A and B are shown apart, each in its own frame.
Chain A
Amino acid sequence: MIVVQALVNGLVSGTLLAVPAIGFTAMFAVLRFPNFAVSGVATLGAFAGYLAYGAGLQMAGSLAAAFVAAGLAGLLFDKIAHLPLVKEGALPAAIASIATGLVLENVVRLGFGNEPRGYDRPIARDVFFGEIRVSPQQLETMGLALALMLAVFAALAFTRIGKAMRATADNPDLAALKGIRPERIATLASLIGMGLVGVGGMLLGLDSSIDPLTGTRILLSLFAAAVLGGLGSVPGAVLGAFLIGIAEELSVLVVGSQYRAAVGFVAILAVLTLRPRGLLGERAF
């Protein structure tokens, strides 16, 4: 029974991980470099949401605040620091993005200090289904995350902008020939991708607490999820997030919680050795 419970717990954490993983992989699909600034941006989003929630905004409003703050910050750094370097290759841009993450983390530290903070949400006892227990709040956060994912999928599938993004990710030259302006798509990818990362940071913080290292803590799991699903593939990121979430919880039962970080590394190692393009390949959708 404890295995089933661990699976349920893994599903919950996988859902939360999926939101920033989608953002990360969508940015990779369009901008062609792994943007590790997600660590700092997720933290920033979590704190923006925290401020909005503390100021009396409802959950939806706070999530929107997290999205906007993180999206704009991500866009700014992409424009001034990362995209100029992409011409030199993905690696310089990726290294610059690590630096950006550190800068953002310390900006948050400067403003809020190192102390962890919690969203002022009531903590409720779990609900039991037979022997399996689920937290009502986690169900709520999970619902929010699922709704957000559906919205992203719908946008990519049915809107002009979504189709343009997929086209650019698939073949930038061909898309440009069709009159799609790559800079506009890049701007959108930064804004939406980082916005999702910011929302993900807030969703992860809702249940626990937030501090300047909130984003750094999830960076490895997030990257592993994206690599596992196939860097650049949005459904792949969702699948990867669920698998990583479940594997991390099951690993607690098998090898002990202190080796949880190894799950991400083992997943990355295995994928790069056995199936470098990831489970679902590189197609954006």
Chain B
Amino acid sequence: MNKIRITRRTTMAGSVALLANPAIVRAQADPIKLATLTPLTGAGGPYGPVMAKAAASVVEEVNKAGGVLGRRIVLVSEDDQTNPEAAVRAARKLIDVDKVTAIMGTWASSVTTAVAPLCWESKTFLCTVSGADSITLLPHQGYLIRTQPNSRLQVTRVGEFILSLGAKKAFTMIPQTPFTQSTFDVLNQVLPKGGATHQSLIYDDKKTTYRTEVDQALRTSPDVILANGYTPDTVVLLKDLYRAGFKGKILGFAYSINQKLVDQIGQNEVVEGVYTFAPSSAEGGSAYEKVKVAVGSANPDPYTCQVYDHVNMVLMAIAVGKAASGEAIKDNIRKVTQGSGKSVDNAVDGLKAIAAGEKVDYSGASGPCDFDEKGDILDCKFRYEQIKGGKFTLVKIA
């Protein structure tokens, strides 16, 4: 840490400067404190630092424009080390010592699950990018929102995409995971509505061959197969589907069907035409462009976009609630993110509109940012790609 040496001369100079600008004195006296708790180290280490940077850029802009409720914003950044224990210690410090009103950007589901009770008990608002369905089911009393789509939303969109491929008989091959049952439930709802049948099979992701499983799937003569595993088992599955001469369409999540998988299979015709999908930021939108500039990257990751949105939403919610408290954020966050207000893509414009007595509806870098009563987002964009000649080509973002 840099030591600031306070001498008589700098004190004098500082005092003169403060006297010359009373607005600074007022804002300095009672700043609004917010925090990011992102993984600066550990497994989330590639994401956390950029996330903190994006959050800081929003605070800087808003402070330049005069702060919120006439008060300056102070953003405290802590490291959760991608570790629930370290995260709890950091959260305790943020809540008890720094007395922040909101904690934003928790990344790992384990971290969010550990930190959430501290937040709702102390009425500190928590914004997270964690994906586990269980998180919004915690008894958080409204003190939590998340911007990452839960698996239910993701699978619903997958089902719609399967229908858009013209499927009449879809088949899902999936290992046993925490989201296996909900995947079946959602697809069994979505696909029949669109006129397609759906059958499925759970496989053992430790097997070295899926010949018999593939035989079972092909017996139902499917036209679309959803390969919903992780990379190692999907490699085996795609090879066995090719060997069996499957001619229909194949699709899977981009976290498993990725460049690594293509390289590893090493033979382009095996994966030719395979579709992938992933939740996507609102690429091309004006907020997304702002994040690009703020973090100096042409492709900011989804978590960076999400934490950018967290800060914008929280600041506007404070303004509408006219109080810098977790309770005010909880009661007002949906008033600034959904409804029929003026569409805004950043807090500076939003705060101006709120000051002028207008209603606002924030659409951010990660998506429309509309939340249900549990704190889950209602919708977001998805990115669909197709493998052609061993390369991923964009089909659409929708």
Contact = CB atoms under 8 A, between A and B. Distances in A.
Interface of A: 2, 5-6, 9-10, 12-13, 16, 115-118, 120, 122-126, 133, 135, 204-205, 207-209, 211, 213, 217-218, 248-249, 252-253, 256-258, 260-261
Contacts of A125: 242-243, 245
Contacts of B207: 217, 248, 257, 260
Contacts of B219: 2
Contacts of A205: 208
Nearest to B269: A123
B232 interface: yes
Given A123-B239, A125-B245, A133-B244, A209 B211 contact: no
B235 A258 contact: no
B63 interface: no
Interface of B: 175-176, 201-204, 206-213, 215-216, 219, 231-232, 235-236, 239, 242-245, 260, 264-267, 270
The list of the 8 closest CB pairs from A to B, nearest first, reads: A257-B203, A116-B232, A217-B206, A258-B202, A260-B204, A208-B236, A9-B211, A208-B208
A256 B212 contact: no
Contacts of A120: 266
Given A125-B245, A208-B239, A258 B204 contact: yes
B227 to A, nearest CB: 14
24 contacts: A9-B215, A10-B212, A16-B208, A116-B231, A116-B232, A116-B264, A117-B264, A118-B264, A120-B266, A123-B239, A123-B243, A125-B245, A126-B243, A126-B245, A133-B243, A207-B209, A209-B232, A217-B206, A252-B216, A253-B212, A253-B216, A256-B201, A258-B176, A261-B204
B241 to A, nearest CB: 11
A123 B239 CA distance: 7
Q: Specify which of A12, A123, A207, A253 lies most central, judged by the most chain B CB atoms within 10 Å of its CB.
A: A123
A77 to B, nearest CB: 24
Contacts of B245: 125-126
Given A209-B264, A213-B206, 20 more contacts: A2-B219, A5-B215, A6-B212, A10-B212, A12-B211, A13-B208, A13-B209, A117-B264, A118-B266, A123-B265, A125-B243, A133-B243, A135-B211, A207-B209, A208-B209, A248-B207, A252-B212, A256-B202, A257-B202, A260-B204
Contacts of B213: 252, 257
Contacts of A16: 208
A217 B231 CA distance: 16
Contact of B265 (A2, A118, A211, A217): A118
B8 to A, nearest CB: 57
Nearest to B232: A116
B232 A211 contact: yes
Given A123-B242, A123-B267, A126-B244, A118 B235 contact: yes
Contacts of B210: 257
B205 to A, nearest CB: 9
B212 A249 contact: yes
Contacts of B206: 213, 217, 261
Contacts of B203: 257-258
A253 B208 CA distance: 17
Nearest to A9: B211
Interface centre among B202, B208, B215 (most CB of A within 10 A): B208
A209 B236 contact: yes
Contacts of A10: 212
Contacts of B243: 123-126, 133, 135
Contacts of B212: 5-6, 9-10, 249, 252-253, 257
Nearest to B270: A123
Contacts of A208: 208-209, 235-236, 239
Residue among A6, A205, A208 having the largest count of chain B Cβ atoms under 10 Å: A208
B387 to A, nearest CB: 15
A31 B203 CA distance: 37
A209 B245 CA distance: 20
Contacts of A117: 264
B215 A2 contact: yes
A257 B232 contact: no
Contacts of A204: 208
A204 B209 CA distance: 9
A144 B175 CA distance: 31
**Counting chain A CB atoms within 10 Å of each CB, which of B206, B210, B211, B235 scores highest?**
B211
B267 A122 contact: yes
Contact of A257 (B201, B242, B265): B201
B225 to A, nearest CB: 15
Nearest to A128: B245
A244 to B, nearest CB: 13
A193 B101 CA distance: 64
Nearest to B242: A123
Contacts of A213: 206
A269 B270 CA distance: 41
A9 B213 CA distance: 10
A217 B236 CA distance: 14
A113 B193 CA distance: 44
A2 B216 contact: yes
Contacts of A2: 215-216, 219
A211 B235 CA distance: 12
A203 B176 CA distance: 26
A260 B175 CA distance: 12
Nearest to A8: B211
Contact of B204 (A207, A211, A257): A257
A204 B231 CA distance: 18
B242 A209 contact: no
Contacts of B175: 258
A209 B233 CA distance: 9
Residue in B212, B216, B260 with the greatest tally of chain A CB atoms within 10 Å: B212
A6 B235 contact: no
Nearest to A17: B208
Nearest to B237: A208
Contacts of A6: 212, 215
